[in-house]
A and B are shown apart, each in its own frame.
Chain A
Amino acid sequence: MKNFGLLIVILLLAGTMLSSTLVIKGSNTVYPVAQLWAEGFKAMNPDVEISIEGAGSSTGIKALFNGQTDIANSSRWIKASEIEQMNREGKYFIPYVVAYDGIAIIVNKSLGISNITIQQLFDIYSGKITSWNQIDSSLPKARIVPLSRDNASGTFEYFVEHVMKGEKFAPQVQQLASTRAEVEQVMQNQYAIGYIGMGYITEEVKALTVEGVEPTVANVNAGSYPISRPLFMFVDATNGLPTGVTGEFLRYALSPEGQAAVLSVGYVNAYGTK
């Protein structure tokens, strides 16, 4: 009976240890997977309150400086100005690579092309090249049908930033409402080209090599695939590695179960899945 009472005390203590709140702010790109992690984490620790906000990477890191967030999601590395600020304020933030975001270029299986360069992609999407035979004279003299995701999607933003370097799409670029719609059109249309999150590649379409590199998880992990980027979670480690809920949450995100969630939202896992 005495032991039973002790057990209850221990359980209560263990309960209170994890019964707190966790605030996550930052990148819209990381948001969908962070949300899945929050759901999974809450299922295991029902007492934890988690609030997630997607407001951009810079906003997240700013909130980390102000102490308004426990974790700052970021789809970019920390900037020089932010390192300066860390030095000034005597703070030390550390990154965790939680996933990779890779973009695959897909075409119809019947099109006789297997590789594309970043420059060619730029020319196609900005409307400088409009016919396939301008890329390779062995390709048919047919109008290129460039497809894109809606301009609200993170994939769109990344593509515009890294392939287009901020240059605008030509008006005839078709913005489709879902990745599925893009794959469907590429299947149907011999002359269509589209870009999708690597997690969505299927057998029904052909994923091109970009600058000669195949879009595989291994190449993304090795950093050799040109249109991919790591996704980070930054935490304040001024007083040591994160403990408590923040530490538990990161451990969950990097666990095989957490990494499986990464694949389910179309990103590439950074660590092994189950």
Chain B
Amino acid sequence: MRRRRLDLSSRVLVTTAALITSAILFGIFFFLISDGVRVFGKISFEEFFFSARWYPTYEDAEYGILALLSGTLAVTGLTLAISIPLGFVSAIFLAEFSHRKAHDFLKLIFELMAGIPSVVLGSFGLKYVSRWLMEFFPMKVWTGLNIFNASLMLSILAMPYFVTLIEDALKAVPVDQKEASLALGANTTSTVFRIIVPQARSGILNAIILGTNRIIGETMVVLMVAGGASMIPHSIFDPVRPLTAAIAGEMGEVELGSTHYYALFMIGVVLLGISLIFTAIAMRLKRGMRRC
């Protein structure tokens, strides 16, 4: 009897906690979306999504987010291209190939990396990386604040996520699988890539989802080093103004209830949408993997 009551009360507790979390989350969605959609009372859907002209503070204002959106996608894409392979290799090294000392040392480095505040990374990119880029690629780089700079800084930010989470996923593979493979005469390399990595796929995908959402939402770094030009980029050395940078740079001065104000909320909705789409795709991939 007592045990059942205990069970009931803990179940109530857990359910309430879950409900409160979901209520807060949906509350945020609700307010964001209800404010965001009001922008379409003032400008057309086509202009907002398909125009690359973002001029919100002029007399004849224009609110096209295509350039900003392409900035977000370019920075996120390049960051993933840099940080996922690096993170993946580092995680495999940490999980399977490293000695204890090397492991502890690298682990410490990644933990320190995870603790760097993004504003510090932004300042670093602004002051040093932009100068180095201009010195190393004097022909290609016309401005030190560009997609490449932002992606490098964001990679530093995202790497610890990828490394730690992928390593956890690799370590979660039952050790008897590994032992069986080694006992059959496979060497460590093929054991890792043929046995352990395929088994850890779902965890690895999870790591990528979390890391990517972190990159998409990152604001301070891109505000400081992505360049701030609302243009559609043609190379990785062009400056861009990602969606988050536009919100952070403009929300402070915007007049409450103006078209610009609602447009910035709609940008928030778009960011949320990108995150959701990305997560949905990854979930589907994960499910597909389990079947085969």
Question: Do these two chains interact?
Answer: yes
Question: Is A174's beta carbon under 8 Å from chain B?
Answer: yes
Asked if A185 and B58 sit within 8 Å, CB to CB, the answer is no
Asked if B228 and A177 sit within 8 Å, CB to CB, the answer is yes
Question: Is B11's beta carbon under 8 Å from chain A?
Answer: no
Chain A nearest Cβ from B137, distance in angstroms: 13
Q: Encode A175-209 as 1/0 by CB contact (under 8 A) with B.
A: 11100010011001101100000000000000000
B108-157 contacts to A, CB under 8 A, are 126-127, 130-131, 134, 142-145
Asked if B144 and A174 sit within 8 Å, CB to CB, the answer is no
Chain B nearest Cβ from A97, distance in angstroms: 25
Given A176-B228, A177-B223, is A189 in contact with B249 using a C-beta cutoff of 8 Å? Answer: no
Asked if B52 and A150 sit within 8 Å, CB to CB, the answer is no
How many Å lie between the Cα of A184 and that of B28 in the bound state? 38
Asked if B142 and A152 sit within 8 Å, CB to CB, the answer is no
Given A152-B254, A176-B228, A189-B134, is A171 in contact with B249 using a C-beta cutoff of 8 Å? Answer: no
Asked if B59 and A166 sit within 8 Å, CB to CB, the answer is yes
How many B residues touch A, CB cutoff 8 Å? 34
Chain B nearest Cβ from A185, distance in angstroms: 7
How many Å lie between the Cα of A191 and that of B141 in the bound state? 11
Asked if A171 and B230 sit within 8 Å, CB to CB, the answer is yes
Interface centre among B144, B229, B245 (most CB of A within 10 A): B229
Asked if A157 and B223 sit within 8 Å, CB to CB, the answer is no
| Chain A contact residues, CB within 8 Å of chain B | 28, 143, 145, 148, 150-153, 156-157, 160, 166, 168-169, 171-177, 181, 184-185, 188-189, 191-192
The residues of A that contact B39 with a CB separation of less than 8 Å are none
How many Å lie between the Cα of A185 and that of B131 in the bound state? 9
How many Å lie between the Cα of A148 and that of B250 in the bound state? 14
The residues of A that contact B126 with a CB separation of less than 8 Å are 181, 184-185
Question: Is B57's beta carbon under 8 Å from chain A?
Answer: yes
How many Å lie between the Cα of A114 and that of B130 in the bound state? 26
The residues of A that contact B268 with a CB separation of less than 8 Å are none
Cβ-closest chain B residue relative to A54 = B253
12 additional A-B residue pairs with CB within 8 Å, beyond A177-B248, A189-B134: A151-B249, A151-B250, A152-B252, A171-B52, A174-B143, A174-B228, A185-B126, A185-B130, A185-B145, A188-B130, A189-B143, A189-B144
Interface centre among A156, A169, A188 (most CB of B within 10 A): A188
Asked if B228 and A171 sit within 8 Å, CB to CB, the answer is no
Question: Is B217's beta carbon under 8 Å from chain A?
Answer: no
The residues of A that contact B59 with a CB separation of less than 8 Å are 166
The residues of A that contact B223 with a CB separation of less than 8 Å are 177
| Chain B contact residues, CB within 8 Å of chain A | 52-53, 55-59, 67, 126-127, 130-131, 134, 142-145, 223-224, 227-232, 239, 241, 245, 248-250, 252-254
A-B contact count (CB 8 A): 77
Cβ-closest chain A residue relative to B220 = A177
The residues of A that contact B144 with a CB separation of less than 8 Å are 185, 188-189
The residues of A that contact B229 with a CB separation of less than 8 Å are 171-175
How many Å lie between the Cα of A172 and that of B146 in the bound state? 11
Asked if A28 and B145 sit within 8 Å, CB to CB, the answer is no
The residues of A that contact B249 with a CB separation of less than 8 Å are 150-152, 175, 177
Chain A nearest Cβ from B71, distance in angstroms: 11
Q: List 7 A-B contacts (CB under 8 A).
A: A152-B57, A169-B55, A174-B228, A175-B228, A184-B127, A188-B144, A189-B144
Cβ-closest chain A residue relative to B138 = A190
Asked if A151 and B130 sit within 8 Å, CB to CB, the answer is no
The residues of A that contact B127 with a CB separation of less than 8 Å are 184
The residues of B that contact A174 with a CB separation of less than 8 Å are 143, 145, 227-229, 239
Cβ-closest chain B residue relative to A143 = B142
Asked if A160 and B228 sit within 8 Å, CB to CB, the answer is no
Cβ-closest chain A residue relative to B57 = A151
How many Å lie between the Cα of A156 and that of B55 in the bound state? 12
How many Å lie between the Cα of A168 and that of B67 in the bound state? 16
Cβ-closest chain A residue relative to B143 = A145
How many Å lie between the Cα of A150 and that of B58 in the bound state? 13
The residues of B that contact A185 with a CB separation of less than 8 Å are 126, 130, 143-145
Cβ-closest chain B residue relative to A188 = B131
Cβ-closest chain B residue relative to A150 = B249
Asked if A152 and B143 sit within 8 Å, CB to CB, the answer is no
Cβ-closest chain A residue relative to B255 = A55
Chain B nearest Cβ from A174, distance in angstroms: 5
The residues of B that contact A151 with a CB separation of less than 8 Å are 56-57, 249-250
